[in-house]
Structure 1
Amino acid sequence: MPSGAPAPGAGIDGLTLVIVTFNRSGYLRGLLQSVAALDPAPEHIVVVDNASTDDTAAVLAGIQPGFPVPLSVERLTKNTGGSGGFAAGVRRALGDGAKWLWLMDDDVEVLPGAVSALAKWTGKYDCIHGRRLDETGKPFFWQHRFLPALGIHVPVRGDVFRNSPVFATNVGCFEGMLVSAGVVRAIGLPDSRFFINGDDEMYGWLASLQHEVVYVNDFVLQKVRPQKQIDLGIRHLNDSSDLSRFCAMRNRGHTAGYLRVHGRFNPVGFAAGTALTAAKEILRLLAVEHSLRGAGSLWRGWRESRRILGDKNWQPMSPLGTGSVQDNAATPPPAE
């Protein structure tokens, strides 16, 4: 565990920002502009271009020279999804000597003072999430815990910071997770088999088995991509896509694999969790998107999850240890 809290206003020693982007050059430009204004700033940036077909390459080529923070671009030859992109970016950052990794999607911007706000927690915790605003400037709901018995994360009601500026959790979010290199080496790279949906949740859970995972009462990011959503009182439900719905169900198979490895798999509870996952996605279709088109993706994803559950050769991502950084599970994007 890290020791020695940094001085007020200090940066984070060895901090690398890892951004994964795909066909959203406008959002990427805004994010990088917000990072350029940070003081203190990360020591290095790794942008993973997930085989974008828009003008992302040209935008990065124009920004890279003279950017105030050293910026490296890792361009992939195929779209490996968020999980594959973060696996590639984390591998690159560790290979370049990162001590801390700040994992970030491309549709957010960082708020002034974000690095120093997070720095004050790095002397005590190894996996830290700051708070976020939505695109309207209101607090963005993110307070969950993972229930291994069901294999799902559930929202925590109320003001989790009422009595403390730290909320202990056991899930992760790649929209701003700050994680130490030691944790990454202990649990491995993000599992690229997830493609999207659930990869960060599982990564946070794996981290929580050995380290404290926390959500702190410091606003550090703002979401800038508008989404259709409804307020359910205990959480917000956003719009989605057929690919995300497919992966939400398909990745139940990978989640079960991790629960089995760690002796936490309950077949009856997990089946109930799968039914709740499907019900949530159907509610999302009806209440947010006002259509049942897309329900077929849930069925296809569930069938694929059954195949994964029956795969006797399934293995988790391996720890990286202290040796060379390697990719343990590079897989192609899922096909529907």
Structure 2
Amino acid sequence: MTCRFYREQDVAALIDMATTIEVVEESFRQLGTGGAENVPRQRARAPGFILHGMHASAEYLGSAGWKMYSTVRTGAKFHVGIYDIESGQMIALIEADQLGQMRTAASSAVGARYLAKKPVTQLGLFGSGWQAEGQLTAMATEFPLTQAFVYSRDEGKRQEFAERMSDQLQIEVVPVHDPRQAVEDLPVVVTATTSKHPVFDGNLLAEGALVCAMGCNWAHKREIDVVTVRRADNWVCDSIEACRGEAGDLLLAEEEGYFDWSKGVSLSDVIAGNAIGRNNQDSIVVYKTVGLAIQDVALGTKFLQLAANNPEVGIDLPF
């Protein structure tokens, strides 16, 4: 058994968002029923450099693996390694920026599938970057969206984003100049920013709204304010264990006395039927994601299944 190396363009050619959403949903279900195990992110630092690592096993797929990525001032490099659990052989090394964007977005879409008040034809989006693009694509794949209201601090970027995504998704993407317009009266609000501070006023949330907060995975940062956390009736994490280590949105609210981890549940338990994710139609729900390696391993394994039918994709590595 050889190990093959795959580049970003290979992933983009073979994986679509609809497939990704179904793969990620099943990975959550397996976490909830014992068919998979996830180990949260750890970080090693040097001056100007951070190495981030996380890993998981997917017994239900016969695979396991890790995601490693480095960040420096000029950017990040992502890789996923996949192993066959029967032989212990590493079978793939995958460039994983595209893969990571898609599984992150799919997590929000799966969360909204189980937690949002239906129907969902409109949403608010904070951010106009790479991750925001994935988030909007996933939500438009999952729901019959007609409008999205997008706010980011840079007027030019949000205008360009709105024009590009309107054309790409064939929905009306409206750039707004006031954060209020991306929150009020909307059933879903998604935050996909790099902000260290809350990006909207939680008092503006409609009854029954779902907030998908995915941009922050550092304990000292938050995109949603204490008001949002306090107003929520349900708090759902992609993983309680992972969020307790790095979800600043909730950790800082806990420090201030507005959140208790005993009230939170993992999405895997909601999907497996072991926990309640939404009390009723008027409940405000917060879905907090920091990203899980099981999603990378599951999607990487699905990619390998598709690549097996495309032998021209990838190259063999000498180990």
TM-score (norm 1): 0.29
Q: Select the structure that is richer in helix.
A: 2
Task: Identify, as 1 or 2, the structure richer in strand.
Answer: 2
TM-score (norm 2): 0.30
